[in-house]
Amino acid sequence: MPIQPIDKNRMHALQQTLLQKAMPPGSLGELAALAIRIALITPRPVSRLSLLIFAGDHGIVEEGVTHSPQEITWQQCLNFAKGGGACGLFARAHGVDLTVVDMGVAHQFLPSDGVLDRKIGMGTRNFLREDAMDAKQCLLAMQCGRLLVRQKKQAGFDAIAFGEMGVGNTSSASAIASALTCLKVDSVTGRGSGLSDCDLKAKCDVIELALKRNPVRTPLGVLAAFGGFEIAAMVGAIIEAAALSLPTLLDGFITTAAAVVSCAIEPNCKEYLIPAHLSGMQGHDLLLDYLGLPRPILDLGMQLGEGTGALTAWPIVSQASRILTEMTSFSHAGVTDSTSLLREKGIF
């Protein structure tokens, strides 16, 4: 299903509706712009958010790009599925549906663990030595992401967000980002879980060597060569969300790297993306600029992943989506139309 571009011809009518609300023009600032952006995607207020946390392990950890032991991936998946972690807390606080999806964790979960089994492999291969995935695995992961979004839409959710869990996935995201944007590796590579200056340089060197080993620069080729199963699932999920006209709350660096791939495949995807926050992770601002997205809703220095930035921004998004349809106008409120008075004086 091709992604339809947003109908920008509706912009003027929405702006006029906003000016009829019982408040001075411009007084809601960026919140009003967000309200219009959401209204261009969907005509109704959004009230039901589903967060899909995709998880997978990465062969690149063999190169010492992180200090975190790989077992943290499956341990955190169990934690999240039980309602733990920041993502579990925030989802519970805001009534958000949270689903943990095993796309390729190097662990065998039990049915009772509460982790959705969509496993494609026991982690990707070491992308310094060989492609992380083959083309079939990559497409299968994307299709899994698309199907899950479709199911959430059918279940009545009207907004979607994605999180990720996977030790080593910042290296995959940085490699993808550099390959597709031509940004320098060190500009889109951060310390992850606390690397020293020396460790960070070694991480950048590994990514540089991997990019030289494999010069492929097509979107799907880059995703298969350097990505993770969870990143590929997000790529498909972002495309499907756009195809279904679902407002998509974009989380941090890794999800934005996935969005770079999605938008390279389907450029109209970016019109359905709502940047939730500016991550503290190196290069996130550069990726948002590359995609030409509006300023993120929040800037709190967060860099946890798990979809926590999207969860934190969700109440603001839901609130903004109600402004155009539920806020009283001057006429309904019986309030003097100050906007018209300003126009008469030539001030507005």
Alpha carbons 227 and 171: distance in angstroms, whole number: 9
Alpha carbons 230 and 140: distance in angstroms, whole number: 11
Tokens of 4: 């339809």
Alpha carbons 118 and 198: distance in angstroms, whole number: 37
Give the chain's largest Cα–Cα span: 70
Structure-derived torsion over alpha carbons of residues 290, 159, 311, 281, reported in degrees to the nearest 10? -10
Tokens of 230: 């969870």
Residue type, 111: P
Identify the CA nearest to 159 among candidates 307, 327, 348, 7: 307
- Give the ranges where the chain is alpha helix by DSSP (H): 11-19, 30-41, 71-81, 85-93, 135-154, 169-181, 197-213, 219-226, 229-243, 253-265, 284-291, 308-320, 323-326, 330-333, 338-344
Alpha carbons 129 and 81: distance in angstroms, whole number: 33
Alpha carbons 273 and 241: distance in angstroms, whole number: 9
According to DSSP, the residues that pair with 51 across neighbouring strands are 98, 161
DSSP string, 63-115: GT--SS-THHHHHHHHHHHTT-HHHHHHHHHTT-EEEEEEEE-SS---GGG--
Set 164, 266, 271, 306: catalytic member = 306
Pairing status of strand 159-165 against strand 49-56: parallel
Residue 275, SS3 per DSSP: strand
Residue 30 among the catalytic residues: no
In the block, which residue shows the tokens 């023009």? 25
Known catalytic residues are 306
